[in-house]
Amino acid sequence: MALSMKEKYDKYWDNLDNMNFLLHVALVLDPRNKLYYLKYCLGLIYGEPEESEEEMFESDDENLSKKGRVVKCVKYTLNELYKHYKMKGDKENDQNTPVVSSSTPTCVASRLKVDIQSGFGKYMEKREGIKNTKVDIYLRNGTERRDTKFDVLGWWKQNSEKFPILSHVARHVLAMAISTVASKSTFSTSGRVIDKFRSSLTPKTAKSLIGTQDWLRSTT
């Protein structure tokens, strides 16, 4: 059983290529945790020293500890999710924006003002890089008080105006159904009831086979 547990750990948690970083992102999107709790837990698991933000995000992966690589991948995944949702939202806004007729007089001054503000925002994003995004602002803010009755989704709903795009990411990521089949099957001594050879059976047939097997066991 111990060897089976070690095999599953190596498959899902020790190998970065197989690791599902959305599980870590869900942890970070809890305002009571953020990256602080993740770094603390990874420190307990790997027992490696703390690395600065500059070392973590400016160094090559080969020069980072496993803890640093995990944190870097988690933040990269969160940033990619943010960019995807932002791009999706921008497309929807463009489609919903009414087209102004060319015969309609427009105010050049107001149009120039909008262009300047928009251009300045893009200029600052290029100048400051990732530090100017809402993701970094969220991660830099302090954590919420640890309370077992804390409503995570309620917090994101209240802060949706402050973090409009990130709140959409949190709503979808935190609603994921987490499966514990892989870890629970390690402690099972009877094996899987429905193996890979029976995975294509209909629910009615599978139910009949399980019931028949249970009856046969009770008579022996």
For 102-130, how does the pLDDT look when each residue is reduced to its tens digit (9 = 90+)? 444 444 444 444 556 566 556 555 555 44
Report the pLDDT value the prediction gives residue 102, as an integer from 0 to 100: 46
User: Could you tell me the two tokens for 69?
Assistant: 């690589």
Q: Mean pLDDT, the chain, as a whole number?
A: 76
pLDDT bucket at 74, cuts 50 / 70 / 90: very high
**166 CB burial (10 A radius; 0-12, 13-18, 19+):** buried
Residues 173 and 203 both lie in one domain: no
User: Could you tell me the two tokens for 185?
Assistant: 């099957």
Residues 80 and 144 both lie in one domain: yes
Residues 212 and 135 both lie in one domain: no
Structural domain total, the chain: 2
* Number of neighbours of residue 132 by Cβ within 10 angstroms: 14
Comparing 110 with 194, which gets the higher pLDDT?
A: 194
Residues 25 and 72 both lie in one domain: yes
Residues 90 and 195 both lie in one domain: no
Is 70 exceeded by the pLDDT of residue 191? no
SS3 67: helix
CA distance 5 to 25: 24
| Residue 56 forms part of a structural domain | yes
CA distance 121 to 119: 5
Residues 156 and 52 both lie in one domain: yes
Report the pLDDT value the prediction gives residue 158, as an integer from 0 to 100: 93
Q: What is the mean pLDDT of residues 69-75?
A: 89
| Residue 165 forms part of a structural domain | yes
Is 80 exceeded by the pLDDT of residue 141? yes
Is 90 exceeded by the pLDDT of residue 98? no
- Written as one string, the DSSP assignment of 108-154 is HHHHHHHHHHHHHHHHHHHHHGGGGSHHHHHHHSPPPP--TT--HHH
* Number of neighbours of residue 214 by Cβ within 10 angstroms: 9
Residues 44 and 118 both lie in one domain: yes
Instruction: Give phi and psi for 63, each to the nearest 5.
Output: -90, 0
CA distance 207 to 203: 6
Q: Point out the least confidently predicted range of 22-31, 32-41, 120-129, 174-183.
A: 120-129
Give percent above pLDDT 90 in the chain.
20
Domain that holds residue 134: 2-96+106-181
CA distance 175 to 207: 29
User: Do 71 and 42 contact (CB within 8 A), yes or no?
Assistant: yes
Instruction: Please state whether the predicted TM-score (pTM) of the whole model is above 0.85.
Output: no
Report the pLDDT value the prediction gives residue 27, as an integer from 0 to 100: 92
Q: Which of 6-10, 117-121, 189-193 has the highest mean pLDDT?
A: 6-10
User: Do 29 and 21 contact (CB within 8 A), yes or no?
Assistant: no
CB-based contacts of 24, cutoff 8 Å, min separation 6: 38, 70, 74, 77
User: Do 84 and 105 contact (CB within 8 A), yes or no?
Assistant: no
Report the pLDDT value the prediction gives residue 159, as an integer from 0 to 100: 92
| Residue 101 forms part of a structural domain | no
